[in-house]
Amino acid sequence: MEISKNYYKKVRVNLVMRCSHCGICCEKTEMMLSNADVERLEKVGYNRQKFIRYDKHGFARLRNCHGFCVFYDVVKCRCKIYKHRPLGCRIYPVIYSEQEGIVVDGLCPMKNTVSETELKRKGKKVIELLQRMDNEATSRDARTNLPRIHLMFMTCGSFLLDFIISFQAALII
């Protein structure tokens, strides 16, 4: 028996959260950017000085303009760079909470459309992304000789390391 390609498209749609384009996630964003995010946006013509700000720990973050992400179109309620958006935006509304670990952001009105499968898949990506961005910020600080506390210890000490080990073990099981 042959399964049509449309069947797989329908199944895939049911595994991905549905966005209402409300813009809540783009309001007063603190979204961190990886080097790959920055390079991708520069490659399509954006100047990093227009969309990046660095925090005191060396993390690259999206700039805000009038209370929203610099790339959010408030009139159309759409992301101007949707095809090229940062990985953190692609993973959202799955986030890391210092108190709870990997969770679906309670601010997102479509939080109930995130399946357990998607939560696990995106949760793994959140951990990988946080580790990568921490390494990049550490490297950035080493070049500028700025003192820095690693993200993992700044946020919650060994709890995060224990969580990462437990979370990765749960994904294997």
pLDDT in tens, 53-68: 999 888 999 999 999 9
Ranges of each domain in the chain = 19-172
The model's confidence at residue 140, banded by pLDDT at 50, 70 and 90, is confident
What was the pLDDT predicted at 153? Answer: 37
The residue with greater pLDDT, 48 or 17, is: 48
Mind spelling out the 3-state secondary structure of 27-71? ECCCCEECHHHHHHHHHCCCCHHHHEEECCCCCEEECEECCEECC
What was the pLDDT predicted at 7? Answer: 42
Q: Provide mean pLDDT across the span 33-46.
A: 97
Cis peptide before 109 (omega within 30 of 0): no
Q: Provide mean pLDDT across the span 27-45.
A: 96
What was the pLDDT predicted at 19? Answer: 87
pTM: predicted TM-score of the whole model, two decimal places: 0.72
* Long-range own/partner contacts, residues 150-158 (CB < 8 A, 24 or more apart): 151/57, 151/59, 154/57, 155/98, 156/98
Give the chain's mean pLDDT.
81
- By CB neighbour count within 10 A (0-12 exposed, 13-18 middle, 19+ buried), where does 104 fall? buried
pLDDT in tens, 77-123: 999 999 999 999 999 999 999 999 999 999 999 999 999 999 999 99
